[in-house]
């Protein structure tokens, strides 16, 4: 596992992609979850009892920053075979999108745009934010191990 991570992140391009993904997901999820406010000043606030949600955001951002560059590396290796690529790309996309489920301030725009369906969706995502993030972490974890396994086989790395 360590050899695979060293192989991928020894290239500065993938390391840069990883930092960009982590920073954008972390800051974006903090803003969407209303841990960071941008108006009128940049202010952070962690309400009591929401520490677990913050930990899930950090884990989700780290896993996304680990899995997505590995899959980009895998795509660059498997340019000819599209069937082998589809599973890991789908897993990382679903995991990343599911982690960004918190509606926060954009919930009002969804409600006003889509009416009662938007209100129902917003209420569902707000009520089940933690389980959805846990599912996203599970998807990203499975995708990580699948990608590591396939890179070991495709790059002929010893365990």
| pLDDT of 27 strictly over 80 | yes
Q: What is the pLDDT of residues 70-111, one digit of tens each?
A: 888 888 887 765 555 555 556 555 555 555 554 445 555 555
| Reported pTM | 0.75
Res. 53 pLDDT band, cuts 50 70 90: confident
Angle at CA 30, nearest 5°, toward 91 and 14? 45
Q: Which of 87, 62, 73 is nearest to 137 (CA)?
A: 62
Q: Which of 53, 147, 23 is nearest to 92 (CA)?
A: 147
């Amino acid at each position: 596992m360590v050899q695979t991570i060293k192989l991928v992140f020894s290239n500065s391009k993938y390391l840069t992609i990883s930092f960009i993904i982590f920073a954008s997901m972390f800051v974006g999820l903090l803003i969407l979850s209303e841990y960071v406010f941008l108006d009128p000043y940049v202010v952070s606030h962690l309400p009591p009892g929401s520490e677990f949600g913050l930990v899930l955001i950090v884990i989700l951002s780290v896993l996304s920053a680990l899995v997505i560059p590995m899959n980009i590396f895998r795509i660059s290796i498997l340019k000819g075979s599209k069937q082998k690529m589809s599973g890991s790309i789908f897993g990382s996309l679903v995991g990343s999108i599911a982690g960004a489920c918190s509606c926060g301030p954009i919930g009002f725009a969804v409600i006003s745009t889509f009416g009662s369906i938007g209100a129902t969706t917003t209420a569902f995502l707000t009520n089940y934010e933690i389980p959805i993030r846990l599912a996203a972490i599970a998807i990203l974890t499975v995708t990580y191990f699948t990608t590591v396994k396939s890179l070991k086989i495709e790059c002929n790395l010893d365990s």
